[in-house]
Amino acid sequence: MDQAQRNAPDVLPGLEALAEACARNAPLEIVQADLVGVEPFARGRMLEIESGALMIEQVQVIGKNSRFSKESRIKAYFRFHRTLYEFRSVVLTAAKAIRLNRSWVVPAIDLQFPTEVEIGQRRNVYRVSLAVLERPVRVEVWHERPPRDFLLQSGVPRVIEGVATPERGGIDEQGEVFPPTRQPDWTGTMIDASDVGIGVNLESCRSSELKIFDRGWIRFELPDDAAGSIVFEFETRQVRPVRERVQRIGMMILEHGDRWKHGAKVRRLWRFLTECQRRICR
């Protein structure tokens, strides 16, 4: 099965995905277009689409309100299911009040509804550097292996979907993502991260062992987080050598299983990254 077939159920046309995500009040991250990768993204929930405008609640960055001027050109990112989308837009209204119900009024801004929405790239998303932490975040990584179970249809082998075993890893009945029970294929250090992806240096890893679009599992524990380890399924988006038998791997976090449990894990990671960014700002 090729990559397009594997991802097809989760990838919608961009504008349709944006409308669906807005209907679910999904978060949207925006940054001034000429500061992509330099400034942190500001985040707010999408509220509604009306008269050619996408309304989002007052965006915040690192726990503080962030202001954008009218006619500012911005780059925006959002996630829907397992896919990251991006688009460009312009701020139409920099400050307005939106009444959500009889007693709840929230500040909001209007963005021009985009004419085009594309599949996003993790490398464009602002990432918090973790390379200088006094307590590095160590990671364990497993490479996904194909299942041993096959069916023969019309003379063509087909991998059985949804097979989850302790040896292979997968998703349990409660929607929790779990890695294989075998020893991790590699260990390493988290170098940077955002809420959509993670960059790691993997030790004793050859460039031929992990390819772009390969999938696997990553497990790590965050400093001072008593909730225990976090496990994500990932898709490889970048592989480059750092030094002998050390590879820099860029990973896209995949959303699987129970999306509420997935969201809770992402929020734990984001809180940690926010605190790291506060320290950098100080």
- Per-domain residue ranges for the chain? 3-124, 128-281
pTM, two decimals, is: 0.61
pLDDT score of 6:
40
pLDDT score of 150:
37
Between 102 and 247, whose confidence is greater? 247
Between 247 and 10, whose confidence is greater? 247
Checking if the pLDDT of 146 tops 50, the result is: yes
How far is 101 from 247, CA to CA, in rounded Å?
51
Q: Please give the DSSP secondary-structure letter assigned to residue 91.
A: E
Q: Which of 23-32, 108-117, 119-128, 236-245 has the highest mean pLDDT?
A: 108-117
pLDDT score of 255:
77
pLDDT score of 208:
85
Checking if the pLDDT of 3 tops 50, the result is: no
CB 229 within 8 A of CB 265: no
Checking if the pLDDT of 2 tops 90, the result is: no
CB 195 within 8 A of CB 262: no
Q: Which of 92-101, 162-171, 236-245 has the highest mean pLDDT?
A: 236-245
pLDDT score of 160:
41
Q: 3-124 domain in CATH 2.30.110.10?
A: yes
pLDDT score of 35:
80
pLDDT bin (cut points 50, 70, 90) of residue 153 is: very low
Report in angstroms the alpha-carbon separations of 202 from 130, 179, 194, 223: 15, 17, 18, 20
CB 210 within 8 A of CB 143: yes
What is the chain's mean pLDDT, rounded? 80
pLDDT bin (cut points 50, 70, 90) of residue 122 is: low
Closest residue by Cα to residue 121 from 215, 194, 230? 194
pLDDT score of 270:
85
Question: Cβ neighbours of residue 275 under 8 Å, at least 6 residues apart?
Answer: none
Query: Could you tell me the CATH superfamily of domain 128-281?
Result: predicted glycosyltransferase like domains (2.40.10.220)
The 10 Å Cβ neighbour count of residue 28 is 27
Can you tell me the mean pLDDT for 227-244?
Answer: 89
pLDDT score of 20:
92
Min mean pLDDT across 41-55, 65-79, 94-108, 231-245 is at 94-108
CB 54 within 8 A of CB 109: no
Run of H or E including 266: helix 259-281
Closest residue by Cα to residue 224 from 115, 127, 135? 135
How far is 227 from 220, CA to CA, in rounded Å?
12
pLDDT bin (cut points 50, 70, 90) of residue 120 is: confident
pLDDT score of 106:
75
Between 62 and 98, whose confidence is greater? 98
Can you tell me the mean pLDDT for 19-35?
Answer: 88
pLDDT bin (cut points 50, 70, 90) of residue 91 is: very high
Question: Cβ neighbours of residue 110 under 8 Å, at least 6 residues apart?
Answer: 53, 54, 55, 91, 92, 93, 96
Tokens encoding 206: 């050859």
pLDDT score of 170:
79
| pLDDT over 70, % of the chain | 79
pLDDT score of 152:
37
